[in-house]
Amino acid sequence: MKPEKSDPEFLPLMESFHTIQGEGFHTGKSAYFIRLGGCDVGCHWCDVKESWDASKFDWISVKEIAEQAEESGAEIAVITGGEPLMYDLSLLTEEIRKRGMKTNMETSGAYPLSGTWDWICFSPKKFKEPLDEFYSKSNELKVIVYNKSDFKWSQQHGGKMTTDAKLFLQPEWSKSDEVTPLIVDFVKENPEWQISLQTHKYLNIP
């Protein structure tokens, strides 16, 4: 029998692995990724659609997840998904931080914030409206650019962020040849923004 979603001692773990962070502010850093199963945001261009159905994955204790993260030797644990905030992440981040690791997360902001974080990458999606709390509590805004309309949409979200938040535009991988030149021109005209590339895909690593 699987634990209920409300039990923060167990989480549906799709996969976990030690790699190099490929996106956003922490690009290039050693990081241990913890990918949780379950997502109802429904981005049609999602490259991990296999993560959407949480019933496919085993529910693992947060202590076991944190122990595996510590064994990797990485200083940063990145909790991602799926949409990780579908679950209460308070105990997971507590266990990770007890082991001297920093807690980073990527979220669409569609669910209430839980857990204690050293870095929050907020990546809102058009398919499920984010909650207002993420504009003030996130360290980084990362907008995926799929077409030209995403630039105006990104500015709407960027204007709500705190003044010290990092702002990134990232080309959707399948459209990168088409939209990357547009992002370059946009950043040249709007220098408060930066470009994020999925460098792990260029390096052919997880």
CB 134 within 8 Å of CB 109: yes
- Measured in degrees and rounded to the nearest 5, phi and psi for residue 199 equal -65, -25
Q: How far apart are CA 200 and CA 206, in angstroms?
A: 7
Contacts for 181 with CB less than 8 Å, ≥ 6 apart = none
Report residue 109 as tokens. Answer: 């902001």
Cis omega (within 30 of 0) for bond into 28: no
CATH ID of 10-203, from 3.30.200.20, 3.40.50.1110, 3.20.20.70, 2.60.120.260: 3.20.20.70
Biggest alpha carbon–alpha carbon distance for the chain:
55
- pLDDT for 8 equals 83
Q: Please state, in angstroms and rounded to a whole number, the distance separating the CA atoms of residues 86 and 12.
A: 11
Specify whether the CB–CB gap between 188 and 182 falls below 8 A.
no
Q: Is 108 in contact with 127 (CB distance < 8 Å)?
A: no
pLDDT in tens, 60-88: 999 999 999 999 999 999 999 999 999 99
pLDDT at 1: 44
Q: Mean pLDDT, 10 residues at a time, over the chain (206 residues)?
A: 70 97 98 96 86 94 98 98 96 98 98 98 94 98 96 97 98 95 98 97 92
